[in-house]
């Protein structure tokens, strides 16, 4: 018990805390199979925004203009959605669901921080500069992410679309020729996989629950479905980047998205809403009327008290 | 309509839902809000099941006990309890509530009513008998002479 422990277990724990910040705080401090050790780490497994910032400050990574613009899109999607989901905290139908939505919001915020940190390296800006000191037309998120929470069913419908879209995208981005994008995506894809499961479970339950819950999820999908097409639109940037192997054309993700969401929708006995598609424009900085209010709430503290910390 | 375009019920959604849903919906939503506002942390069972308008449809979520195994080779340990509508959601809620800080590699959820527990009032009869019976511990015995490897 004395000699064997010292070299392996303790040193192993020391390494672990580098990868997972504050891992020892969980109480028992015993080594866990889920903790990331450098030895078995997949690329980007425990990648944090701080690690990316460090690499940037050492001059090890620097995205070119196109990659930065692309990272900005991904980061803004996550950031705006996190802000939306955070609104549910203390308002969810049940305490347990409060935490579930809060967890999802934090996951999204984590991805956003990584992507924005990376994007900012191209222009000498920090993640905070980008999140708090850009104006509405400088945000590149798609319209779906800024759609109001509505009732619980609307939030679930929105999350369902988002998670299946992000899962497809991040799965492909893991093979990106840009190592940082690939690493962030490798970490994000596991979290998004759970978001997918969470929202699918709720779609099934709301659709198969009471008449009221079914009416609400049908209504929820009707409200958010117009924003699906925008997610899969190709443009000049994605064309250039897909040729460079940094990403894939968004349109190439559509078939798989339709197949996977279709399975759940069929199981839930829901129809894909026959609604016209919104014009979109979020990737070009054209946003709906909701965006300004989201930004006002999100940015007010940082702008009122620049550089504030606690 | 709430101001600032960030309402709990967006204008568009609220309008359309209320048009389509029968009148019960409004009462329902109201009673949910009331229950929600009055909800003390973690006591969902106290949720008024007999609230007017919601009596027919509202079943409070049942209670589940959560057991988490922190590492391969260790046993599952009781971590706490939670409310969930069914086993699949209980597992997911348990994942969200009890493994946020990397605590586990495996989770069990058990319906609370499936657990039979010893009566706290029967402590004497149940648990005091072993007291004074030192001979049930290995340390009670002295090593016999000449026995190796003990």
Q: Does the pLDDT of residue A285 top 80, yes or no?
A: yes
Q: How far apart are CA A107 and CA B51, in angstroms?
A: 36
- In chain A, residues with a C-beta closer than 8 Å to the C-beta of B106 are none
CATH of residue B103's domain is 3.10.20.520
- Distance of alpha carbon B71 from its chain centroid, rounded? 21
- For chain B, how many structural domains are there in total? 2
Alpha helices in A89-233 (DSSP H): 95-120, 127-132, 143-146, 152-173, 179-208, 211-224, 228-231
- For A250-268, the pLDDT digits (tens) are 999 999 999 999 999 999 9
Q: Which residue of B13, B81, B97 is the best one to mutate when testing the A interface, meaning the one whose CB has the most A CBs within 10 A? A: B13
The order of strands in the sheet holding B62-69 is B77-84, B62-69, B106-111
Query: Looking at the domain assignment, is residue A36 inside a domain?
Result: no
CB-based contact, A294 to chain B, within 8 Å: yes
Over residues B106-110, mean pLDDT: 96
- For B53-79, the pLDDT digits (tens) are 444 445 588 999 999 999 888 999 999
CA distances, A175 to each of A182, A183, A248, B86 (Å) = 6, 9, 10, 38
Q: Are residues B41 and B68 in the same domain?
A: no
The DSSP H or E segment spanning B83 is strand B77-84
Query: Looking at the domain assignment, is residue A196 inside a domain?
Result: yes
Query: Looking at the domain assignment, is residue A179 inside a domain?
Result: yes
Q: How far apart are CA A208 and CA A222, in angstroms?
A: 17
Query: Looking at the domain assignment, is residue B126 inside a domain?
Result: no
Query: Looking at the domain assignment, is residue B133 inside a domain?
Result: no
Position with higher pLDDT, A171 vs B5: A171
Query: Looking at the domain assignment, is residue B38 inside a domain?
Result: yes
CATH of residue A203's domain is 1.20.1260.10
Query: Looking at the domain assignment, is residue A28 inside a domain?
Result: no
Query: Looking at the domain assignment, is residue B88 inside a domain?
Result: yes
The DSSP H or E segment spanning A75 is helix A65-86
Query: Looking at the domain assignment, is residue A19 inside a domain?
Result: no
- The interface predicted TM-score (ipTM) is 0.72
Q: How many CB atoms lie within 10 A of CB A109?
A: 19
Mean pLDDT of all residues belonging to chain A: 88
Over residues A222-242, mean pLDDT: 97
Query: Looking at the domain assignment, is residue A148 inside a domain?
Result: yes
Q: Determine if residue B5 is left, alpha or beta; phi over 0 gives left, psi from -120 to 50 gives alpha, anything else beta.
A: left
Residue of A nearest to B31 (CA): A93
- In chain A, residues with a C-beta closer than 8 Å to the C-beta of B21 are 212, 215-216
Of B10, B70, B82, the CB nearest to A30: B70
CB-based contact, B37 to chain A, within 8 Å: no
Over residues A164-185, mean pLDDT: 97
Q: Does the pLDDT of residue A4 top 50, yes or no?
A: no
CB-based contact, B61 to chain A, within 8 Å: yes
The pLDDT-based confidence of B139 (bands split at 50, 70, 90) is confident
CA distances, B23 to each of A157, B11, B20, B53 (Å) = 24, 18, 9, 10
- For chain A, how many structural domains are there in total? 1
Q: What is the DSSP string of B2-66?
A: -GGG--SS-HHHHHHHHHHS-HHHHHHHHHHHHHHHT--TT-GGGS-TT-TTTTTT--PPEEEEE
Q: How far apart are CA A282 and CA A145, in angstroms?
A: 10
Q: What is the DSSP string of B48-71?
A: -TT-TTTTTT--PPEEEEEEEE-S
- In chain A, residues with a C-beta closer than 8 Å to the C-beta of B36 are 91, 93
Over residues A10-30, mean pLDDT: 38
Domain that holds residue A146: 49-304
Query: Looking at the domain assignment, is residue B149 inside a domain?
Result: no
Q: How far apart are CA A292 and CA A107, in angstroms?
A: 23
Query: Looking at the domain assignment, is residue A229 inside a domain?
Result: yes
Domain that holds residue B41: 3-46
């Amino acid at each position: 018990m004395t000699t064997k422990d010292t070299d392996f277990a303790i040193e192993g724990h020391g390494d672990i805390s580098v990868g997972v910040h504050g891992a020892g705080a969980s109480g028992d401090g015993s080594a866990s199979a889920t903790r990331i050790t450098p030895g078995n780490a997949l690329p980007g497994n425990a990648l944090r925004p701080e690690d990316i910032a460090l690499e940037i400050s050492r001059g090890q990574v620097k995205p070119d203009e196109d990659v930065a613009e692309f990272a900005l899109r991904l980061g803004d999607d996550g950031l705006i959605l996190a802000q939306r989901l955070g609104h549910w905290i203390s308002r969810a139908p049940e305490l347990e669901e409060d935490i579930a939505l809060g967890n999802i919001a934090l996951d999204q915020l984590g991805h956003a921080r990584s992507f924005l940190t990376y994007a900012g390296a191209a222009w000498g800006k920090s993640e905070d500069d980008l999140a708090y000191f850009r104006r509405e037309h400088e945000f590149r998120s798609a319209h779906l992410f800024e759609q109001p929470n509505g009732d619980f069913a609307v939030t679930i419908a929105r999350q369902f679309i988002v998670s299946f879209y992000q899962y497809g995208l991040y799965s492909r981005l893991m093979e990106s020729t840009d190592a940082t994008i690939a690493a962030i995506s490798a970490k994000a894809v596991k979290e998004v996989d759970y978001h997918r499961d969470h929202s699918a479970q709720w779609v099934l339950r709301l659709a198969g629950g009471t008449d009221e819950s079914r009416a609400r999820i049908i209504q929820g999908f009707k409200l958010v479905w117009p924003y699906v097409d925008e997610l899969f639109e190709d443009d000049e940037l994605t064309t250039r980047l897909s040729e460079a192997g940094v990403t894939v054309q968004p349109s190439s993700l559509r078939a798989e998205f339709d197949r996977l969401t279709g399975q759940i929708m069929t199981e839930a006995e829901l129809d894909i809403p026959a609604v016209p598609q919104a014009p979109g424009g979020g990737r070009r900085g054209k946003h709906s009327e909701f965006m300004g209010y989201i930004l006002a709430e999100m940015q007010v503290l940082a702008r009122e008290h620049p550089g504030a910390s606690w | 309509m709430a101001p600032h375009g960030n309402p709990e019920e967006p204008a568009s959604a609220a309008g359309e839902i209320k048009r389509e849903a029968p009148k019960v919906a409004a009462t329902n939503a109201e009673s949910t809000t009331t229950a929600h506002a009055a909800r003390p942390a973690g006591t969902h069972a106290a949720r008024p099941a007999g609230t007017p308008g919601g009596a027919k449809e509202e079943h409070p979520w049942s209670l589940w006990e959560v057991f988490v195994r922190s590492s391969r080779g260790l046993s599952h340990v009781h971590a706490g309890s939670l409310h969930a509508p069914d086993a699949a959601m209980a597992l997911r809620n348990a994942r969200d509530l009890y493994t946020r800080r990397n605590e586990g590699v495996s989770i069990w959820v058990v319906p609370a009513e499936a657990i039979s527990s010893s009566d706290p009032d029967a402590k004497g009869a149940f648990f005091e008998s072993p007291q004074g019976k030192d001979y049930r511990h290995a340390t009670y015995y002295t090593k016999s002479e000449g026995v190796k490897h003990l």
